[in-house]
Amino acid sequence: AQTVTQSQPEMSVQEAETVTLSCTYDTSESDYYLFWYKQPPSRQMILVIRQEAYKQQNATENRFSVNFQKAAKSFSLKISDSQLGDAAMYFCAYKAGTASKLTFGTGTRLQVTL
Amino acid sequence: DVKVTQSSRYLVKRTGEKVFLECVQDMDHENMFWYRQDPGLGLRLIYFSYDVKMKEKGDIPEGYSVSREKKERFSLILESASTNQTSMYLCASSLIWAFSETQYFGPGTRLLVL
């Protein structure tokens, strides 16, 4: 069975600084997708960024980028120029290519300080 | 934009009551999902449905059932609520065969069982 591990329950970053959230996963599949979702306090969960396993190039979305290390089964999220609005729970998730189900990590709570 | 709505944001029920949680999506998605979210455990899949009247068990289906009579609506049923079902419940939907089948989430229902 696939597993997703987020080893940092909480992280803190100062405004305008850069922070990296860690995620590792375990799978025997060769075709899969990885996602980072953001859940702001009392607000809806939204997709931040996604990565296809077959792509070597790391995905980027504005201030958000990933470091995808396929051999190491690592998928970290880097947030540059952190803003107060980035404060949220961040979940890493895995989906096998042929499946519809997501497997989630336990989440990392990110605090952004002035 | 995809819109996923859930019938209640907060719900308080008594032990033994039958509880219905409703989810509606407006983007003609085939897949719909019910998760529960607990601190330190992340999101865990309860049930999902890939078509009307079709359902599959997720990782923690015990104590729950689901109903999907119309494509846009997916209901989660707690036949006899228990205190250990106090949790946040999240509904999601996705489009089969769409690139990566990204899931879109509702705002969540926080259920308290007394």
Residue type at position B5? T
Per-residue burial over B64-101, b if 16 or more Cβ lie within 10 Å, else e, is: bebbbeeebebbbebeebeeebbbebbbbbbbeeeebb
Which of A11-15, A42-46, A59-63, B103-107 bottoms out in mean pLDDT, i.e. has the lowest? A42-46
B 12-51 residues with CB < 8 A to A: 31, 33, 35, 40-45, 48, 50
CA distance B35 to chain A (A): 10
* B-interface mutation test, from A7, A34, A45, most B Cβ less than 10 A away: A45
Q: What are phi and psi of B77, to 5 degrees?
A: -120, 130
B46-101 pLDDT, tens per residue?
Answer: 999 999 989 999 999 999 999 999 999 999 999 999 999 999 999 999 987 666 67
Query: Cβ of B58 under 8 Å from any chain A Cβ?
Result: yes
Evaluate whether B5 touches B108 at the Cβ level (below 8 Å).
no
| Residues linked to residue B12 through DSSP beta bridges, in sequence order | B112
Evaluate whether B105 touches B6 at the Cβ level (below 8 Å).
no
CA distances from A107 to A9, B37, B52, B63, B103 (A): 6, 10, 32, 25, 17
Whether residue B16 has pLDDT greater than 90: yes
Residue for token pair 């996963």: A25
A33-89 pLDDT, tens per residue?
Answer: 999 999 999 889 999 999 999 988 999 999 999 999 999 999 999 999 999 999 999
